[in-house]
Every structure is written in structure tokens, then in C-alpha cells.
Structure 1
Amino acid sequence: MRPRARIVASATLVVVAGACALWLTGGLRAAGTPATVRPGQEVDQRLFRTRLVGAHVTTFPKTRFTAARRLLVINAWVTNPTRETVGTMSGTDDDVFAHGVFLRWDTRDGPRPRLTDAQAIAGNTLFRSLQPRLPTYVAVQYELAAATVVPDHITVALAGYRHTDAGIVDPRGYWSYQARRYTTRLERDPVTHRSGRVAQIIPVLVADVTLPVRR
């Protein structure tokens, strides 16, 4: 596992800092004043070059194995400008595309949509990676609760990233959120049952994009 920015106030637990979960009116807290960007305009997140092009709501009917589901899908064209393959969705790492995409959500519209997947799409193929310098269509998927009402327009915030040189251990270095500040919380390791304070990054938000929602 690659190193991450972290602050640990107790030596009893070391946990990699994950995606921040601090919300403003149900959405991520703003860092400074993000630029207001039109749909389709490219945003430089440093780790990604992103064009958010639309959003839509879709329904998957009930099957023998799964319940019916409603999804909010954010549509984007994404370029990975680095020389390494980067993921679209995985675990708690912050250097995957979906974890730098945040919905600004009004809780009066019901429970917050839950991020479930982000799939890259090429023809009939679905995958979860962004190859170096290859523009790729990505669909970021959020599951909707029964009581959630999706408004006609939603605002999406994009996080900024920074690269840290890791020296001899990993000459490639690593990517993490560009930090506005840090917050710590007490966590318990489910394996060792040891507790300690773990830092989470509150990222700088570089852009807000307001998208119309198709039904």
C-alpha cells in the first residue's frame, strides 16, 4: 500500500487517510471559492483532466437476484495525464476518479445519493481504469433511496490533487488530495481492535459544475 498524508495522535493505530466525508448542507464543505465551470468545460484537477457533460436518472427493474434500483449517473470525459494507470473506483483510496467527485446535496430533497460505482465505458466494454493520456468516458453512479427526489439541476464539486515525491522507497511518488486542512477522529482497527486518532484530508475544491438532469 502506498503512503498517504496522515496524522496519527496515537501509536496504537495507523490507518491510511481515506476520502473525506464532511458535508455542507449535505454536501462537501467548500474550500475557498471553487471556480464556476460550464458543463463540458475542462477542469484541471492535476491528476485528472475532467469534463462533466451531463447527468441522468435511470431505473433497473427487479430481477431474481436483485431488488429494483434507481441510480443518479454523472457523465464525464476524463483524461489521466500521468504515465501510470489510475482507477475510476476502488476501496477508500482518494487517488481514484470517483472519490474526487462530490455532490452538493440539499437534505430537503431526501437522503443523500450513495456512491456505488464508477465505470469507464468503451464500446460494449466496462472497466475501472484510466489509461495514460487516453480520453475516456466515465459514468459515476449513485444509488437513490426511495424517498430521494432528484432536482432538475445538480451541482458537482471537483477536488484538486497534488503529487508527493516518495524518494528511494517509491521513486514514482504518489497522489493525494490537495489539502485545505486536516481533521482527526478516533477509529478502531477491526483486526487488532486497537484505537487511535486518524487524520482525514479536507480537500481543496477547484470547480463547481451545475448539470441539468435528464429523466
Structure 2
Amino acid sequence: MHPRARVAGCAAAAVLIIVGALWATGGLDPADTPARVAPGKEVDQHLFRTKLVGAQVTTIKKFGQTTRILVINAWVTNPTRETQGTYALDDNVFAHGMFLHWKTQDGPRPKPVDAQGIAGDTLFRALQPRLPTYVAVQYELASGTRVPDHVTVALADYQYTESGVLDPRGYWSWRARGYETRFETNPLTHKSGQVTHIIPVLVANVTLPVTVKR
């Protein structure tokens, strides 16, 4: 959930980084309320065309331990001419434009950990241009987390910006509804400073029934 990072440097730290954090529920003006969309209906995010089709809770073995995972299933089409990713820590990828509505009484918020394209027995993290791809977005569940019978997923809108003559490639980022500035420490450089996050425009809310795989 991190649109492309651009840093304006200073002696102490980065001043501006366009990144994402998990969207906090509430605080939307009525005009900003995303449309309610049925499961399986396509949502145009501009960078992605997305059909959310289901959700399930399953368990996987990770480092010898059993971990509960919430999986959101989607059909995703990349309408651009360039390959896009499904998941990464610092890139503009599909999973970063998905946000779970979450109630505190259900326990710790699920942690996004991966998003994989699936074709037969092949797993990958690339969305080829104009090729509909089945994607499973994974969220790790804490031991105290209770998953409700239905989960609502919000999808962000994107916009393309031309970079200029010296860098004709341009870039995609969330379309901004607003901005939030916080004092943070960069985990890679360990430098601290004011960081401004995009608050994205949300184009759709999709409520999915949750099944439990034994």
C-alpha cells in the first residue's frame, strides 16, 4: 500500500515520502464515501481493473509454525502497457490499493504479508498488460483476531503523472483525497523527520462472505 516513494532530502531526514499506511476507517465526508459494489463486479481503479470474488480463512505452515491467514481473492487486469506487481514493500503494486475495514472488537488488524498471482501450479507477482490474472492477497491473523462472517474491502483510485522531459516514463500514485503528516523514523536509513502520507480516494467498498477452510 505504498505508491511510488519520492523523497525530498534534508540533512537530518526525508521530508516528503509518498507512501501508504493502512487506511483508518471513519472520517470520510459524504462526498468521499466509496460506492458499494457487489462481489464479482469490476471496479476501475485506473491502474487496475479489479473483481473481488471471495474471502477465506485458512492455515499455512510457516517456519515450522501454523499461521492463520485471511485470503482475499480477486481477478485483476492491468490495463497499462507495462508490467505491474502484485506485492512489494516499496513499490506501486496491486495489494497496496486494498484496505480492510476493521473493527477493534474483532482484535488486532490483519497484517498484509503477500499477494500472489496463481495460474495452475505457478505462483508469481507480476501482472502482464491486459491479461486477467487470479490474485490471492494474504493477511496474517494474530492469535486474538476474530474474523467476522463478512469482510468489507475498500479499493483506492490511482492517477498517472508525467515526470517531465528528463524522465518521460511518468509514474502512478494514489489519487489524493488529502494528506497526513507524521514524525517517523525510516527503518532502512534510521533517519527521522516529517513524513507526509497520501490519504487516497476510495472508489469502491466490496463486502465479501468469509469461508473457513479446514
State if a TM-score over 0.5 links the two structures. Answer: yes
Structure 1 segment 149-164 matched on structure 2, within 5 A: 149-164=146-161
Cα deviation, 1:144-194, whole Å, max 9, x if unaligned, reads 111111111110000000000011232120000000011111223456554
One-letter amino acid of the counterpart of residue 60, structure 1? I
8 A Cα contact 2:22 2:99, kept in partner: no
SS at match of 2:88: coil
User: 2:186 and 2:112 mapped to 1: Cα distance?
Assistant: 24
What amino acid sits opposite 1:91 in the alignment?
A: L
Residue 22 of structure 1 deviates from its aligned partner by: 4.2
Alignment of 1:86-105 (within 5 A): 86-93=84-91, 95-105=92-102
Structure 1 window deviating more from structure 2 (163-172 vs 146-155): it is 163-172
Pairing 1:70–2:68 present: yes
Partner of 2:183: 186
Contact 1:50 1:76 survives alignment (8 Å): yes
Question: Which range is displaced more, 84-93 or 205-214?
Answer: 84-93
3-state SS, counterpart of residue 146 of structure 1? coil
Cα shift at 1:87: 0.5
TM-score by length of 1: 0.88
- Extract unaligned runs of 5+ from structure 1: none
In the alignment, what sits opposite 1:171? 168
Given that 1:88 and 1:98 are in contact with CA atoms closer than 8 Å, whether structure 2 keeps it comes out as yes
Residue 21 of structure 2 corresponds to 20
Matches within 5 A, 1:97-116: 97-116=94-113
Residues 3-61 of structure 1 deviation map (CA, whole Å, 9 limit, x = unaligned):
6467x696632263211334126xxx547110000000000000000000000111124
Give the alignment's TM-score, normalised by structure 2: 0.89
Measured after TM superposition, the shift of residue 132 of structure 1 is 0.5
**Could you tell me the percent identity over the aligned residues?**
61
CA distance in 1, matches of 2:74, 2:155: 12
Read off the aligned partner of 2:69 and give its amino acid letter.
L
Residue 44 of structure 1 corresponds to which residue in structure 2? 44
Residue 207 of structure 2: aligned partner = 210
Q: Which amino acid aligns with 2:59?
A: T
In structure 2, relative to structure 1, the CA distance for the partners of 1:5 and 1:177 (3 Å cut) is farther
Provide the rounded CA distance (Å) in 2 between the counterparts of 1:45 and 1:76: 13
3-state SS of the aligned residue for 1:68? Answer: strand
Cα 1:84/1:146, change in 2 over 3 Å:
same
Deviations 1:83-133 (A, max 9, x none): 00100000133x200000000001111111110000001111000010011
In structure 2, C-alpha distance between the alignment counterparts of 1:195 and 1:58, rounded to whole Å = 38
Q: 2:57 maps to what in 1?
A: 57
In structure 2, C-alpha distance between the alignment counterparts of 1:53 and 1:190, rounded to whole Å? 35
Determine the structure 1 residue equivalent to 2:140: 143
